[in-house]
């Protein structure tokens, strides 16, 4: 939206997110997520610290971890943001160790799934306001009790979640996206009508969901 509005007014803003949830590692995730912030951190903190042109791996690991500790503080002066930055810093270090070599051999599907799981676990630290409730949240999260979800969501909402999940991941996986694009392009002008119809229906579903729900501001609203 910002890129489009900027172009209308004559500004050309760089892309800031590039399908981050299909990343195969935390390192790749941060090349896709909040690209402008990552670029700024790399140029003004990581490189001045020596970057990867240092004499020892321990210094390299410290540089990585420290940059993401600062990244956490950039989001807010709160312990949960510090922990979130340190959390990602640890996995960036692990990507350069035996862990990274092992995960590189488990296949694309499992790498994407594992990275997505790690990122979701990290979002708990990012979102939680009371640091003392972190482990309580994780305990409930891993209880695998789907009763409240089924109780508070209608069958239509549950089906919508599943469909959006499949479309969100399926259409962004390179192999599937390539085949989908080739199939749609072979149809000709129908592709424009089909994509427009699907987009319109999804917009209607989103608007309907927002109207019937309570006020829930975007997570970056407070920054």
Active site residue 75: yes
User: Which is the catalytic residue, given 34, 75, 88, 152?
Assistant: 75
- What is the chain's Cα-based Rg? 20
Write down the H helix ranges in the chain. 2-8, 26-32, 35-41, 57-75, 79-94, 98-103, 108-127, 134-141, 147-152, 155-170, 174-187, 190-212
CB atoms within 10 A of CB 87: 20
Query: 3-state class of 12 per DSSP?
Result: coil
CB atoms within 10 A of CB 223: 8
Give me the active site residues, please. 75
């Amino acid at each position: 939206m910002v890129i489009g509005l900027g172009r209308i007014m004559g500004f050309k803003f760089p892309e800031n997110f590039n399908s981050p949830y299909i990343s195969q590692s935390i390192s790749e995730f941060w090349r896709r997520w909040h690209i402008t912030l990552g670029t700024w951190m790399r140029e003004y903190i990581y490189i001045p610290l020596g970057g990867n042109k240092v004499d020892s791996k321990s210094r390299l690991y410290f540089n990585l971890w420290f940059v993401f500790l600062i990244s956490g503080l950039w989001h807010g002066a709160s312990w949960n943001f510090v922990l979130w930055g340190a959390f990602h810093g640890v996995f960036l270090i692990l990507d350069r160790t035996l862990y990274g070599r092992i995960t590189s051999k488990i296949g694309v599907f499992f790498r994407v799934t594992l990275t997505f799981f790690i990122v979701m676990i990290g979002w708990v630290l990012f979102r939680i306001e009371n640091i003392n409730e972190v482990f309580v949240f994780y305990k409930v999260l891993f209880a695998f009790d789907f009763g409240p979800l089924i109780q508070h969501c209608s069958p239509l909402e549950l089906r919508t979640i599943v469909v959006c999940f499949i479309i969100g991941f399926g259409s962004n996986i390179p192999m599937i996206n390539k085949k989908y694009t080739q199939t749609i392009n072979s149809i000709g002008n129908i592709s424009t009508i089909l994509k427009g119809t699907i987009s319109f229906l999804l917009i209607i579903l989103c608007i309907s969901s927002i109207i019937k729900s309570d006020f829930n501001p975007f997570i970056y609203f407070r920054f």
